[in-house]
């Protein structure tokens, strides 16, 4: 093949690829070839690097299987797992509103806490720190939001008669 390369124009492309090659056994390779030239510009060597794509394709198949539609979560495994319930509710809300948990507004957090309260997450001892971690807020911020949620009148501005 080097004889054929000798006929290449010196200004021609010297690196080819990545391009696909297929072996007789059906395995696919990704290949890159480069023309190495002598000081006079003539083609002197043609190294070719081949990468067997089989392991990469197998890994891609495994990864894509995790992205495929799944069966519903098995209820007996998760109905008593309050921490999993927290993660599930927070994750669903984040997907619903299209913002990461760090960018949730105060109203978003109150809505989310109402959903967690409805799911009876706060009846579990030590749920507060886990919820605060899931929401990426401090415990004091969490307890302040919970107090606000539990006393709706504190959310509406009061009319000050002296004003």
Hey, where are the domains in the chain? Answer: 2-52, 75-151
Q: Is the distance from CB of 28 to CB of 54 less than 8 angstroms?
A: yes
Per-residue pLDDT of 81-120, as tens digits, reads 788 889 889 999 999 999 899 999 999 999 999 999 998 8
Half-sphere exposure of 80 (CA within 13 A, CB side): 2
Task: Kindly report, residue by residue over 142-157, the tens digit of the pLDDT.
Answer: 999 999 988 866 554 4
């Amino acid at each position: 093949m080097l004889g054929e390369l000798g006929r290449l124009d010196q200004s021609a492309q010297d690196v080819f690829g990545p391009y696909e090659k297929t072996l007789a056994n059906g395995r696919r390779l990704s290949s890159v070839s480069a023309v190495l030239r002598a000081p006079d510009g003539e083609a002197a060597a043609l190294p070719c690097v081949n990468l067997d794509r089989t392991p990469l394709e197998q890994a891609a198949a495994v990864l894509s299987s995790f992205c495929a539609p799944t069966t519903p979560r098995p209820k007996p495994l998760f109905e008593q797992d309050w921490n999993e319930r927290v993660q599930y509710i927070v994750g669903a809300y984040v997907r619903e509103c299209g913002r990461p948990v760090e960018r949730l507004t105060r109203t978003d957090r109150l809505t989310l806490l109402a959903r967690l309260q409805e799911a009876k997450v706060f009846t579990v001892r030590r749920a507060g720190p886990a919820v605060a971690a899931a929401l990426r807020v401090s415990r004091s911020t969490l307890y302040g939001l919970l107090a606000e949620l539990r006393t709706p009148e504190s959310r509406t501005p009061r009319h000050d008669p002296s004003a």
